[in-house]
Chains A and B, each alone.
Chain A
């Protein structure tokens, strides 16, 4: 069941630059998308979300873009900071209720 895919297992970015994390999905019934950040031995922490009726949502350094026709979303972090180093999960929801997660992308922000 690969309804949500994150094809890049890892990403390395220099401090101050932009981090772009990508996510693709196959289920056209998904209507809500979320990004979570996860540190080792901790639970996923909610970052930002977007409804399928929008194509962009911004919150501080984090912006999520949704391209429904391509079934693609991305998370932009700018400027990237060392504390952003973590695993980032894309998740999708259909009509509320359960989340379907991607496999995650390990982001490393280097000094």
Chain B
């Protein structure tokens, strides 16, 4: 069964450093997403990506964040200068389609635990 994969599983970084979280979505999916879950809180939407551009982003997704699909398989989330409050589980997800009134379930990867010290 196809699945979303994410690397690394755990990333420890110092405040102010740049991190890149990597995801390989399910191969025939067209929409890609990043979510995060701070410990003890709900899963929150960060950004969605379709056709090589951002289709929607939340207020959390400020100028410190960026996403990219550098090749035909990877989808990355970059945080330019990490802060302590960026510590969270980051989940990548993908779906066959998203907007135009058509809903499809999103499939999530196992997550990357980011710890900022």
With the chains together, A97 CA to B104 CA distance in Å? 9
Number of chain B residues close to chain A: CB under 8 A:
31
With the chains together, A42 CA to B6 CA distance in Å? 11
Interface-located stretch among A16-24, A76-84, A88-96: A88-96
What residues of chain B lie closer than 8 Å to A44, measured between beta carbons? Answer: 43, 91, 108
Majority-rule SS of B interface residues: loop
Number of chain A residues close to chain B: CB under 8 A:
25
Mark B80-117 against chain A: 1 for CB-CB distance below 8 A, else 0: 00000000000101000111111111111111000000
Q: Cβ of A10 < 8 Å from any Cβ of B?
A: no
What residues of chain B lie closer than 8 Å to A102, measured between beta carbons? Answer: 42
Q: Cβ of B65 < 8 Å from any Cβ of A?
A: no
Q: Say yes or no: A97 contacts B107, CB within 8 Å.
A: no
Mark A53-97 against chain B: 1 for CB-CB distance below 8 A, else 0: 000000000000000000000000000000000000101010111
Which B positions have Cβ atoms within 8 angstroms of A? 4, 6, 31, 33, 35, 41-45, 48, 55-56, 58, 91, 93, 97-111
